[in-house]
Structures are given as C-alpha cells and as structure tokens.
Amino acid sequence: MPTTPAPARRKNPRPDQGRSAPDVTEGRLLISDLLQIVEQDLDPKEVKAIYQAYLFGAEAHEGQVRHSGEAYIFHPLSVARILADMRLDSHSIIAALLHDVIEDTPTAKKELVAQFGKDVAQLVDGVSKIDQIEFDSPEHAEAENFRKMLLAMSKDIRVILIKLADRIHNMRTLDALRVDRRKRISQQTLDIFAPIANRLGMYAWTQELEDLSFCNLYPKRYDAIYKELGKRRGNRRKIIEKTKKNIAEEVEQAGIEATVVGREKNIYSVYRKMQKRRVPLVEMGDIFAIRIIVRSADDCYRVLGLMHNLYKPVPGKFKDYIAIPKANGYQSLHTLLFGTFGQSIEVQIRTEDMHRVAETGVASHWRYKTGKEKSGPQMPTHSWLVDLLDTQQAGDPSDFLEHLKTDLFPDEVYVFTPQGDIKKLPKGASALDFAYAVHSDIGNHCIGARINNESVPLHQELGNGNHVEILTARSAVPTPLWLNYAVTGKARAAIRNFLKNQQEGDAVKLGRQLLDRALKSEGLKTRLRTDQKIELLKRIGREDWNELLGDIGTGRRLPKIVAKQLLPGSSNNRASTTAEPLPIKGIEGMSISYARCCRPIPGDTIVGLFSHGRGIVIHKASSMNNKTCRNVDKQGKRPDNWIEVEWAEDIKTTFEADIRLEVVNRRGVFATLASVIAEEDSNINHVLVTARDDRNSAIRFTIEVRDRKHLAQIIRRLRARRSVIRVSRTRG
C-alpha cells in the first residue's frame, strides 16, 4: 500500500555558497515534459501560449538562482507541472510559469496584460505579495498578504491553487534553507496552507503539506513514526490483503461493480491521533483503511449494509457525509469495523465522482477535459471565503490571523435550526456562535438558547445533531465577556465590531462633556461658532468634529489643550472659571474605566487620569492609611493629565473591591465565607488562596459591592466568623 515517503535529508550549500550556472538542458527537459502533459487535452494555440510564457519567464528570471543553486525558472516550471497533473486550464498553467515575475523582477502587471491577457495578469497579481507598502511589523505584513490573497481567491479560486502548488514545491525543496527558516515556513504551512487545502477538499495536497511540515518541525518524531509504520505494514500485509479479498468477494456476489483499495493514513494524521488519544503508536488500531469506490450513491448504502453484515460495526463510529457533506463538498460513508483477526478497520465508501472531488476538491471544477474553462466553482468553499472576508476587511492584523486559523479548523459539528436547516460550525462552537451563524442581528441581541428544548446559557458547547433555538431581547447587547466563548471568526468579528462602535459612541459623548467643561473653565459662555470648529479641524488635520471629540474621549487629546486651541489668548482676555467636577455614575460606557491598582468604589475620594486609547481611568485620590495610589503619585507631576471627578448621587451599578482574609485551616471554611458574601447580596469574581503554614491560610477575594457602606457590612460579617483571624480591604 502507498505511503508518504520520507523526505530526503541532505546537506545543501548555503544560499550564498555553491551556486552553479543555470542548467539549460535540464530546463528544456522540464518544459518538454510539461508540454507533453498539456498536449493531451489542450488545443495547439493554448500549448503554444504556455511555451511562450515559459520563454517570457525564463528571460525575466535570467541570472536568478534559488538557494539550492539551481536556475530560478526551474521553480515556476515545477509549480506549473503540479497544476498540469491536476489537469487545470491553460491560464492557470501560464500564471504558474509567471507567478513570481511581478514580485521578483521589474516586470509590471500591464506588461502581462499586453502579452497574456487580463485573466492571467490578475491571477499572477493575486499570488504576488504586497512589497510596495511598509508595515508596522512582520505580522502585519503577513496578515495583509493573506488578506490580499484571500480577496483574490474569492474572485477566482485558481489564485489559491497556484499559491498552494507554489508552497508544495517550496516545501519539497526546503532543505536548502537554514534550520530556523525551515521551521518558520513549516509552521506557517501547517497553520495556514495545509488547512486551506483541506478546506478546499484537496486531501492529496493537504497530506503532503502536513507531512513535509511535520518532517521539518519534528524530524525525529517523523522518522520514528515512519519506521514503525514500515514495520507494521509488513506485519499486517496479509491481514489487509485477506480483508480486501473478503470485501471484494462480498460486493461481487451482490452484483455491485466496485473497486476495493487499501490505504495508509499519512504520518502527520497518525501523529495527531496519537496526541488526541494520548496513546503510543503500538496501540493505534485504525492506521490502515479500506476504500470502496462504486458507481452510484445507492450502491454506497447497499455496500454499507454488506459491510455491517460481514463485520461487526463499532458503535458510534458511523458518519454519513453523503447525506450531510462536509463544508468543502466532501462526500463519503465512513464506518469502523471489527475485522476477522480482531483489529479495527476503517472503511470509506464513495462513488467515482465523490472520490475525484475528495482527492482534488475545488480543483476538479477547473479541469480542462471538456476544453471549456468554467466561470467559477460552485462549491460551499466559495461562500465560506466570502463570509470570511466580509467579517475581516478591517481590524487588527493579529485578529485577522486568529480568525483565519479558527475558520480553517477542520473538525465540524452539524446542528439544526428550528426550521430544520443544517448549520455547520467548528468543533467547540457555542450557542453564541450559532446565533451569529444565523444572523449578526440575532447574535447581537441574544440572551440565551434552547438546545433540544432545554434552556442553556450562551456559552453552552454544541454537539452533533443538536436542535438549537436562540432567545433574544432588543435590550441585550454584546459584552467583552462574550469574546471568551465565541469560537468562530464571524462571531468574534461581529462582537469586536459592535464593541468598537459602542466605544466610539461612548468616546464622542464623553469628549463632548469634557470639552464643554474645559471651554467653560476658559470663560466661554456661548456656543462655539462653526468657523471656530472648521479652523481648528484644518489646523490639526481632522475632517470631522466627532473624530476630534472621540480623540478627547479616548485620551488621545487633552480637553484643556483643545480648549486653548479653540480660544487663543483666552487666559489673558477672559476670566477663567473653575469647572464643576465630572459626575461618575458607573454606567458611562467603555470610555471610563476603573483602575485595578486601587479599585475605587463610591464613597472613596477619586480623581480621573487621561489614558491614551482608554479615555478616563478613575483612581482613588487617597487610600487606606492616607497613602496615595502609586499611579496617582507617578502621574501627579503632569496636572494636565488629571480631571476632577466625583461620584454621582444616583449610582445603581456595582464595582469590584479586593479584600484579604487570614483564616484558620478548617473543614468548610471557604464555603462558609462564600456563603456570608452571598448573603450580603454580593458576588465573588475572583479568588486566590495561599497556604501560609499547616494551620493558617490567606484568602484574597475580588467581590462586587455597591459602595463603601456595603463593603464595610461584608467585612463586619466576615470578621465575626470564628475561623477568621483578620480581614481588610487591599489594593487591587
């Protein structure tokens, strides 16, 4: 049975050493081999265009060599050969031959348009990296290049086919690079490119990329599994052959035309199963599989019945991907059987068309057997791409990469809507992810869910076959806590977008308040004139007044400075007045936060500190023992950074406070303390227990309180417990 060969481990010259002149003869052999393949299906004009592309690429890359020392044109030729083996159209082959000319040579896109047409030029441009822009970090550059590639891919799926073929050949020749670069490229391949190939249903490419990456990241583990599989292959050859013969005879007797083949799982998937099950390789039972290829879907189910009659099925291990295909279009029946000799055997049953899609995935939609290029793939993968890009057009680069990797997660669960529709979500997805999968508006206003008619919280993990109904309320809105249990990129992007817009709205509102106070302190008693606003916006390079207010609300600009810019000479010409302190109600939104270093609560004397990007952070003006908060001391020399604030009278929310207890180690002491806190209408948000010795422990609670009186009542109740030695409020 076929298995993935161990990649060659040879020493190559360093990139700056041992370079040889381009081998013209070898280049001719490669192009001749490529032309012989495409001549079988393409017309002579297309074959001629491919040869012209080779000549153009060879001239553009003349003098360039790879790290291995070979002529650079060998790489595009090899990439084109990989695509030719997949029987792709002529434009894909031409673009593969030219895929590096925009990025690595002076060739411009318009030159490719003139020589080979707009379609080829767009494919080459889609594969090329963005080198003309300077980015803040390598991560930012990587994210933007992936974003560009996926955008081009959503318009034309051939872009990613060329990129994957390019990555496959680079991985095959990776041993010419330094070890650190090999590992970095292999990790990126394992994180991004192999999952993309898997998402597109291209399992042959997926397995090769996985094994090549695994070999470079963990060569010793790879070699150990490779050698062990070789031993087991020899020991089990007779068993597998006997099983194949029994299955073939059973199917033939039933009058079903079928092809029965054996296959071995690729090395990386074996390693992944070992990790998941936490078992050594010697205990792995389903490494070898039998694949039965029949003529129709009806035959698939008939063969399944024959298999379950011939061998006993393992309960709970049957999967019907024909009735419910995977998101990448994969269809097959999977079942796990107890074999004749007691070993477990995985059997996959599919039609010839299903097998072709399983091996080549989305590439099967671009095959040129008919001689007609198709306008685009009609596969679920395309809707996945569009959905991914809709939620990722903007935002932090690290967020984009995080969402991309999440959405490439291969394992899925299938759940049902109240109307009976099927939703496919990544394994580990919550009811909240389901809500956003239905519609972003439902997600933004959900308050709970019903799974199989039972009420559950939003963080409830979904299982296969669940019937899910989302409960909503117009008053409900996302909170930052939702990001802790949202798994899908769509849900996380929608939550972040809502919070960002909410923060911007809060910032504008707060900025208006702060600027009004600052203007009042400068003596302005009338409303600002429009010409004053326009003049200031021009001076500071802002286009919108709300943008300026948002800058003030988030601490990027100080209101006193802006007020003086609006009213030049105000300190000389106007009588300054003292503005009233800003009232703090605890519900101002995300532009006002409370310092963890001192945990201010109503009743404490407070002061506000402008923090860049966060707005106003409320600190205690003084803490226990009349000691000032250390951050107040640190920033005290910059008076412009501070704003006078005071607690409002009608506060109806709760705040966090820290208390520290020293207790005697007794059975049930923690439960008793938690009960006292709950009886006082408070909630424990965090707890830290430190054992001081065998008899005493220190416990630190972060609890919710309304004000100092509420906190004092809780402390009095706790101090009255016999097991409590002392209790006090502490800094955050």
Which contiguous run of DSSP H or E holds residue 618? Answer: strand 615-620
Q: Which of 707, 717, 711 is nearest to 730 (CA)?
A: 711
| Alpha-carbon distance values, 604 to 391, 514, 533, 709 (Å) | 43, 22, 38, 11
- Indicate the residue among 307, 336, 366 that finishes a domain: 366
pLDDT tens profile 200-228: 778 889 999 999 999 999 999 999 988 88
Any idea which of 71-75, 550-554, 724-728 has the lowest mean pLDDT? 550-554
Assigned domain for 32 exists: yes
The reply to whether 505 and 594 lie within a common domain is yes
Assigned domain for 534 exists: yes
Average pLDDT for residues 621-632, to the nearest whole number? 61
Assigned domain for 328 exists: yes
The reply to whether 446 and 421 lie within a common domain is yes
The reply to whether 193 and 260 lie within a common domain is no
State the total domains in the chain. 5
Taking the whole predicted model, whether its pTM rises above 0.75 is answered as no
- The predicted structure's pLDDT at residue 144: 66
Paired sense of beta strands 422-426 and 468-472, if any: unpaired
End-to-end CA distance of the chain: 63
The reply to whether 129 and 42 lie within a common domain is yes
* Mean pLDDT (the chain, rounded): 80
C-alpha span between 370 and 158 (Å, rounded): 17
pLDDT at 398 over 70: no
Kindly name the residue from 23, 39, 62, 104 that is annotated as catalytic.
104
- The predicted structure's pLDDT at residue 724: 92
Has 506 been annotated as catalytic?
no
The reply to whether 483 and 503 lie within a common domain is no
The reply to whether 227 and 212 lie within a common domain is no
pLDDT at 680 over 50: yes
| Contact predicate 582/646, CB 8 Å | yes
pLDDT tens profile 287-342: 778 899 999 999 999 999 999 998 888 888 888 989 888 777 788 999 988 876 66
Assigned domain for 472 exists: yes
- Indicate the residue among 366, 401, 433 that finishes a domain: 366
Average pLDDT for residues 56-72, to the nearest whole number? 88
The reply to whether 175 and 197 lie within a common domain is yes
- The predicted structure's pLDDT at residue 97: 93
Average pLDDT for residues 471-479, to the nearest whole number? 86
The reply to whether 210 and 226 lie within a common domain is no
Confidence of residue 396 (pLDDT cuts 50, 70, 90): low
- The predicted structure's pLDDT at residue 389: 56
More confident residue, 496 or 663: 663
Kindly name the residue from 41, 103, 111, 402 that is annotated as catalytic.
103
Average pLDDT for residues 12-20, to the nearest whole number? 34
Quote the domain boundaries for residue 56: 24-217
Assigned domain for 383 exists: no
Query: CATH code at 165?
Result: 1.10.3210.10
Assigned domain for 599 exists: yes
- The predicted structure's pLDDT at residue 7: 43
C-alpha span between 96 and 164 (Å, rounded): 11
The reply to whether 258 and 190 lie within a common domain is no
Any idea which of 41-55, 143-157, 592-606 has the lowest mean pLDDT? 143-157
Torsion of CA 677, 683, 686, 691, to 10 degrees: 10
The reply to whether 621 and 704 lie within a common domain is no
Assigned domain for 388 exists: no
pLDDT at 154 over 50: yes
The reply to whether 239 and 331 lie within a common domain is yes
- The predicted structure's pLDDT at residue 550: 80
C-alpha span between 331 and 348 (Å, rounded): 10
Assigned domain for 3 exists: no
The reply to whether 463 and 554 lie within a common domain is no
Has 103 been annotated as catalytic?
yes
- Indicate the residue among 647, 681, 700 that finishes a domain: 647
| Contact predicate 648/584, CB 8 Å | yes
- The predicted structure's pLDDT at residue 50: 93
pLDDT-above-90 percentage for the chain: 25
pLDDT tens profile 123-135: 888 887 644 444 4
The 3 state secondary structure assigned to 598-612 is CCCCECECEEEEEEC
Confidence of residue 262 (pLDDT cuts 50, 70, 90): confident
